[in-house]
């Protein structure tokens, strides 16, 4: 009863505060001249927003990030995950996001100014060209942050990982850092139109390097990274659940 009453008042107030804080920061990011400074402002904005709505965030394992370029892969459970990972990761990471977000008012221009790379997963030919471009960027020294599930569902559980992320890692010869975001589904996921209070935890584990250059190496890397993310994220395996449902 107390929890429902608390969220009855908390949800609309937190949403109003969040929008009121984010919008001015979006404008500041859009007009800021350099990418590094824009990303620094973005990290501060997210942490400040979470502070304003009373959401604590704990970040662990950042020492596991390699000094050189790499790919960070995290689970995806809510609308907040990109923002949360922005606040957790160093500014050298470029986020890979579905291209639908590019057309959102205010948000789209802000993401572009933050250096986000948009990908089109609905067009195989365009997706292949974008993947090759990302391989070249990583080979040239960029680090990427990717939600390998591609999207999230209202129901909890880790979904299958898309292959593109691990093709990039294998072809570019860079390690992948498994990461977990916990608490974001409750904060603003599972179909919730308004936020609910939650604490947020972000954790990075030891990097996993490719063991070859062929398709088998991509599959092995994907399986190893997904297993580690699954072990850390606190949600069940949707692939295992689907398999059990089919067997039943």
Looking at residues 125-135, what average pLDDT do you find? 89
Distance CA 52, CA 56 (A): 10
Q: Give the model's pLDDT for residue 248.
A: 47
Note the pLDDT of residue 243: 56
Share above pLDDT 90 across residues of the chain, in percent, rounded to a whole number: 79
- DSSP string of 163-187, one letter each residue: SHHHHHHHHHT--EEEEEEESHHHH
Count: domains in the chain: 1
71-74 β-sheet, strand order? 57-60, 200-204, 176-182, 71-74, 143-146, 93-98, 117-119
Q: Is the pLDDT of residue 127 over 90?
A: no
Average pLDDT score over residue span 4-14? 88
Counting every residue written for the chain, the total comes to 248
Q: Residues 209-242: pLDDT tens digits?
A: 999 999 999 999 999 999 999 999 999 999 986 6
Say if residue 244's pLDDT is above 60.
no
Domain that holds residue 197: 2-247
> What average pLDDT does range 186-204 have in this prediction?
91
The yes-or-no verdict on residue 246 having pLDDT over 70 is no
What integer is the mean pLDDT of 92-120? 91
State percent of the chain over pLDDT 70: 96
Q: If you average pLDDT over residues 87-100, what whole number do you get?
A: 93
pLDDT in tens, 32-81: 999 999 999 999 999 999 999 999 999 999 999 999 999 999 999 998 99
CATH number of the CATH domain containing 34: 3.40.1130.10
């Amino acid at each position: 009863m107390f929890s429902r009453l608390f969220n009855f008042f908390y949800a609309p107030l937190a949403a109003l505060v969040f929008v009121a804080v984010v919008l001015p920061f979006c404008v500041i990011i859009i007009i800021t001249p350099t990418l590094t400074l824009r990303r620094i402002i973005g990290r501060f904005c997210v942490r400040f927003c979470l502070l304003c709505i009373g959401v604590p965030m704990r970040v662990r394992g950042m020492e596991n990030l390699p000094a050189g370029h790499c790919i960070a892969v995290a689970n995806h459970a809510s609308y907040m995950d990109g923002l949360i990972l922005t606040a957790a990761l160093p500014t050298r990471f470029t986020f890979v996001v579905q291209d639908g977000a590019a057309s959102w008012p205010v948000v789209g221009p802000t993401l572009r100014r933050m250096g986000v790379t948009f990908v089109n997963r609905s067009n195989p030919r365009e997706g292949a060209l974008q993947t090759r471009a990302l391989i070249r960027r990583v080979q040239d020294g960029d680090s990427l942050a990717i939600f390998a599930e591609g999207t999230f569902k209202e129901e909890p559980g880790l979904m299958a990982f898309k292959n593109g992320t691990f093709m990039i890692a294998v072809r570019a010869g860079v390690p992948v850092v498994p990461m977990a975001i916990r608490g974001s589904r409750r904060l603003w996921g599972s179909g919730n139109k308004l936020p609910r209070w939650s604490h947020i935890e972000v954790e990075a584990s030891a990097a996993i390097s490719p063991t070859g250059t062929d398709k088998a190496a991509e599959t092995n890397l994907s399986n190893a990274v997904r297993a580690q993310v699954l072990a850390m994220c606190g949600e069940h395996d949707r692939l295992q659940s689907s398999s059990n449902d089919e067997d039943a």
